[in-house]
Structure formats: C-alpha cells, structure tokens
Structure 1
C-alpha cells in the first residue's frame, strides 16, 4: 500500500450564464469552508469575507471587466473538513 492520497475531484461548477454575475456551485456532497476568491488580471471583484458553502449551494460573484476571457483568472481557495487547503484557477 502507498501513502499517496487519492485524487480529489474539483468540487466546483462555474456558472457563466448570468454574466457579469458568475456562480460558483459546490457540486460535491461536503461543506467547503474558508472559501475565498481573488482575481488575477484587470477584472474587479468586490471585497468579501471567506465563507462556507454547503453541498449544492452557489456563491454568486459580481465580476466586472472588459474581455475577461483574454486576461483575467479567478482563483478559488477553500478548505475541506480535514483542514487541507486547495486552490483552483478558473478562466472566463
């Protein structure tokens, strides 16, 4: 047996249908804690506090910017119940 952890599927579904408000749905069966968001590039996102997002819940993010798909990346950060921290980069 190996002590290498099993792969962990990204728990998020990124919803682009309501731009310029984007949804980040927790598509997993677990509650994700200390969820925070940051933008890399010229877009803008209102300041927010880290949040908890339950299974099936969606966080709605108003993200402004011209041509986000060309130069902006959303970075999502969260913790699971075991306190492991994860990062996921989303492009528009």
Structure 2
C-alpha cells in the first residue's frame, strides 16, 4: 500500500459569505459524527453539543469577534463512519 492511498481529503468547506454566521459544509459522501467546534483566540462561539453532519449538509456557527482573520482559529473535530477521529484548523 502506498502512502498516497492513506490520504484523506478534508471534507469541509468553510462558508464565509454570511458573517458573523459561518457555515461548515460537509463536502464528503459520508456522514460525519461527533462533530464539535472550538476557537483559539479572542473570537466567541456559543457552547454546543457535538452534532452529526450528513453528506452535503452545512453546520451553521454564529462566531463573533473583531478581526477574526488576524487572531482567531476555528478547530473542528469529527469522527468518520469507521470511528477514526480527525482534527482540522481553519482561519477566517
């Protein structure tokens, strides 16, 4: 098995068009479970429980903060159907 066969593309598309509400669209063909969101930096995100995001669906997040692109990072965690856990960092 080559290393290339182990690659897993990030399934998320960050939608910035409706700020201060941001969307994370699941662009994969599988349901992603135990999806949770957190911020690093001065931005603010309401508390929430982990969610399930079906293929093609979008999770909408109200994120407040001044100049998020300079100092805030969104952290997304999820589990694939096989139980593997992933983490992705996105900037604004």
* Shorter-chain TM band: over 0.9
Equivalent residue number for residue 32 of structure 2: 32
Structure 1: runs of 5+ lacking an equivalent = none
Change (3 A) 1:42 1:3: closer
Return the structure number with greater helix share.
2
Deviations 1:28-87 (A, max 9, x none): 000000000000000000000000000000000000000000000000000001110000
The total of aligned residue pairs comes to 92
Equivalent residue number for residue 48 of structure 1: 48
User: In 2, distance between residues paired with 1:2 and 1:22?
Assistant: 36
Equivalent residue number for residue 20 of structure 1: 20
Report the TM-score when normalising by structure 1.
Answer: 0.95
Report the TM-score when normalising by structure 2.
Answer: 0.95
Structure 2: runs of 5+ lacking an equivalent = none
Structure 1 segments of 4+ aligned residues over 6 angstroms from their partners: none
